[in-house]
Structure 1
Amino acid sequence: MRYHPPASAAPLLLTPVDNEAPARMQRLRSLGLGQRPEPALDAFADRLAEVTGAPYAMVNFIDEDRQFFAGLHVPGGGHAGIEGVHRALRAGTHGAGAHGVSRYMARDHGYCPHVVVRRKALVLEDVCDFPRFAGNPVVDEIGIRSYMGAPLIDRTGTALGTVCVVDTEPRRWGRAGLETIKSMAAELTEQLQAREDGGI
């Protein structure tokens, strides 16, 4: 069934306005985050995929124009760039031969920008159940059907980005999934703070 909004309805705002983006960019630069892949964040994404049972997991930092997957897990244990993930999802190859490709994604793709602006976890067991989210480009272009993400809010109160998992099939994440993604976000936030303090 296709959703048809009433003629008088305002168009759905698919990507939220992000007034905190300039401050976030400055904070990310001061932390040295969001510019390059990091093995420790790839390892964190691997563990996130393992504990949630999701095929794809990301540590995502967001600026004014784009998203950057500084930590990335794809099926088979690889860390392909997001373009490789797109190809793998379309071709069913699960990231084969996709290593070393860009990890960037446009800000209007996906659901992490909503998590960052809302500053709250978001669980979409089937994105097609929600008109606001079903029209996102990742649904038709990549085949994403379920999403779960939580914000990384640091000690300054800045939402730096997210930890998230996605699947090409609907998933019943449930309350356990929500608690897991929130707990993993809190854990990574603590690690980033320890790194800033020189502890790691």
Structure 2
Amino acid sequence: MMYDPTGHLLLTPVDKEAPARVRRLRGLGIGQYPEPAFDIFAERLAELTGAPCAMVNFIDEERQFFAGLHAPHGTLVAAEPSAVPSAGPAAGGEARRYMARDHGYCPHVVVRRKALVLEDVRDYPRFAGNPVVDESGIRSYLGAPLIDHTGIALGTVCVVDVEPRRWGTAGLDTIKRMAAELVEQIHRREAGGI
């Protein structure tokens, strides 16, 4: 765990790779605008895991951006726009796509470069105090990093729920497989194959 000089637990990890990530995302032309293909991917991810909400999340130095989002009307992201600060609504006017870097669990996944399974976030003191717990009611999280062929963790794919969830080995395998699939799509796009 990381501590600041005054001895407090830092909830958001230091991200030394952020400048390189931002350059890579800009070079790929992703991470700043919603993309229908990423929305479709997020919807498929939600279906495969049985989660109400799923995201394709790209992270820069200041914020997170959900370039792909599945959050049907009435689910936590759509119902709690204050928990997901944004410059404006997503297509359809329901959910917002920006979130502060110190909210949520994806920044931990990107820095650790490993999948993260939180069946009940309140079981983990480091994560229980995260603003999304109180503001959005998120109780469970499952996410995996999107590590491209240059070795940069571009962001994450993740699912969340307002109820504790037993994601198990099947959930972990699914999120890792889906992360690898999306990275391959990004590589094909970069090569001009999409």
TM-score by length of structure 1 reads 0.85
Go from structure 1 to structure 2 and tell me whether the alpha carbon gap of 1:59 and 1:33 turns closer, same or farther (over 3 Å shift). same
In structure 2, what is the equivalent of residue 43 of structure 1? 40
In structure 2, what is the equivalent of residue 120 of structure 1? 114
Secondary structure of the structure 2 residue equivalent to 1:27: helix
TM-superposed CA distance for 1:44, in Å, is 0.1
Inter-partner Cα distance in structure 2 for 1:99 and 1:165: 21
In structure 2, what is the equivalent of residue 56 of structure 1? 53
Residue-pair matches, total: 182
Q: Percent identity?
A: 74
1:173 aligns with 2:173: no
Inter-partner Cα distance in structure 1 for 2:126 and 2:32: 30
Q: 1:32 aligns with which of 18, 29, 32?
A: 29
TM-superposed CA distance for 1:12, in Å, is 1.5
Q: 1:190 aligns with which of 178, 184, 187?
A: 184
1:133 aligns with 2:130: no
Structure 2: which 5+ residue stretches go unaligned?
1-5, 84-90
In structure 1, what is the equivalent of residue 87 of structure 2? none
Q: 2:78 aligns with which of 78, 84, 107?
A: 84
Structure 1: which 5+ residue stretches go unaligned?
1-8, 90-96
Q: 1:155 aligns with which of 149, 162, 167?
A: 149
TM-superposed CA distance for 1:13, in Å, is 1.3
TM-superposed CA distance for 1:11, in Å, is 1.8
In structure 1, what is the equivalent of residue 15 of structure 2? 18
Secondary structure of the structure 1 residue equivalent to 2:16: coil
TM-superposed CA distance for 1:84, in Å, is 3.2
Contact 2:71/2:78 (8 A) holds in 1: no
Contact 1:60/1:67 (8 A) holds in 2: yes
In structure 1, what is the equivalent of residue 105 of structure 2? 111
Go from structure 1 to structure 2 and tell me whether the alpha carbon gap of 1:139 and 1:100 turns closer, same or farther (over 3 Å shift). closer
Query: What is the root-mean-square deviation of aligned Cα atoms in Å?
Result: 2.3
Q: Amino acid of the residue matched to residue 149 of structure 1? A: G
TM-superposed CA distance for 1:83, in Å, is 6.4
Inter-partner Cα distance in structure 1 for 2:173 and 2:148: 19
Q: Amino acid of the residue matched to residue 20 of structure 1? A: E
Contact 1:85/1:98 (8 A) holds in 2: no
